[in-house]
Amino acid sequence: MEQAPHPAVQYVEIDGFQYPRPTQKAPASLRRKQSDSSLTGSSDQKKRENKSAPYRDARYTTLLAAKGSFMDKSNEGITTTSMENYKSLLSSNQTVSNDSMFRDAIFEITCRSVQDRNESRVIRSISPYIVPSAEDLAIMGATNLNCLIENVNEGWTGSIPIEGPRPQPDYSVGFRRSAFTDDQLYRLDPLIGSVFDTSFFVATYRMYSPFLTCEVKCGAAALDIVDRQNAHSMTLAVRAIVELYRAVKREKELNREILAFSISHDNTTIRIYGHYPVTENSKTTFYRHPIKRFDFTSEEGADKWTAYKFTKNIYNIWMPNSPYTNLFSY
């Protein structure tokens, strides 16, 4: 079935600046029917194979490119600062659990147990040690992460897609509404609208400005499929922050800077990407930088904690100093 056309973007003026205006999800007569699913994230119930269907076709990469989103590096690549930052995220140490399914004594058994199994099984036993839960870490004492919220297989019903259906990542992290001050919320509300609206700046009514997604897939060409899913999701994330900075004439500050991350994995292999914009005059295009690709099961699991530590460093080092935490510093 063909997708309904996405609404044309309109702008609202606030304090002399032009911001993308939120749009209604559906005509008023349909809101009541849709409100329950929008609020509860009932899209969680979609079969996993259905949500990834549009991305199975390799031509989806061409569709994204036609919209200005490229699954490749730009000619100039990322800035030296972004290069140094992500290398620091890879090298900075983090604590790991000594009593987990990835501990040395049972790591190989854990990996063998998910061979030839489906995505749900891999997510159950492997994903928590690839991409740790931001909310779980906060509950266990990392109070600096209380500003974050995560979604698990929840459709981004508040977003405006680039091409095709709205994203529905296996795992995503963004900011809670409570992460913003009253003054910031006052300034954000005209851009976000109500729970019945879609906006550049929200994934769901709970999550603002997502900056990390993880997708899991098993089988032939599996990681290529989820790479496309991640590319779409993170294009939306990068677009949002660029639009905010453009509104206050600061978008050049973001040129070629990594603004979001994605992780694709199956039962043996991990791919980590950084996503960034290239701004030229009034035009913005989107690219991704391959940060690291590796088999975490090789060499007796020598790199088994690499993605886990990298993700914790995103939460603890990158996030507090990212453009997202300075949205209204002007």
Name the DSSP letter for residue 69.
B
Residue 10: its pLDDT value, please? 56
Residue 25: its pLDDT value, please? 64
Buried b (16+ CB within 10 A) or exposed e, 40-57: ebebeeeeeeebbebbee
Cα 9 from chain centre: 22
H or E stretch at 287: strand 283-295
Measured CA to CA, the distance from residue 58 to residue 63 in angstroms comes to 9
- HSE (side-chain half, CA atoms, 13 Å) at 64: 25
> Does the predicted TM-score (pTM) go above 0.85?
yes
Count H helices and E strands in the chain, helices first.
Answer: 10, 10
- The residue ranges of every structural domain in the chain are 14-326
Each residue's pLDDT, cut to its tens digit, for the chain (330 residues) gives 345 455 555 555 544 445 555 566 655 444 444 444 445 444 444 566 678 888 999 999 999 999 999 999 999 999 999 999 999 999 999 999 999 999 999 999 999 999 999 999 999 999 999 999 999 999 999 999 999 999 999 999 999 998 888 999 999 999 999 998 888 888 878 778 777 788 888 999 899 999 999 999 998 789 999 999 999 999 999 999 998 888 888 899 999 999 999 999 999 999 999 999 999 988 999 999 999 999 999 999 999 999 999 999 999 999 999 988 776 554
Measured CA to CA, the distance from residue 242 to residue 279 in angstroms comes to 9
Spatial contact of 308 and 133, defined as CB atoms under 8 Å apart: no
Q: Residues 320, 322, 325, 330: what is their CA dihedral angle, to the nearest 10 degrees?
A: 130
Residue 308: its pLDDT value, please? 99
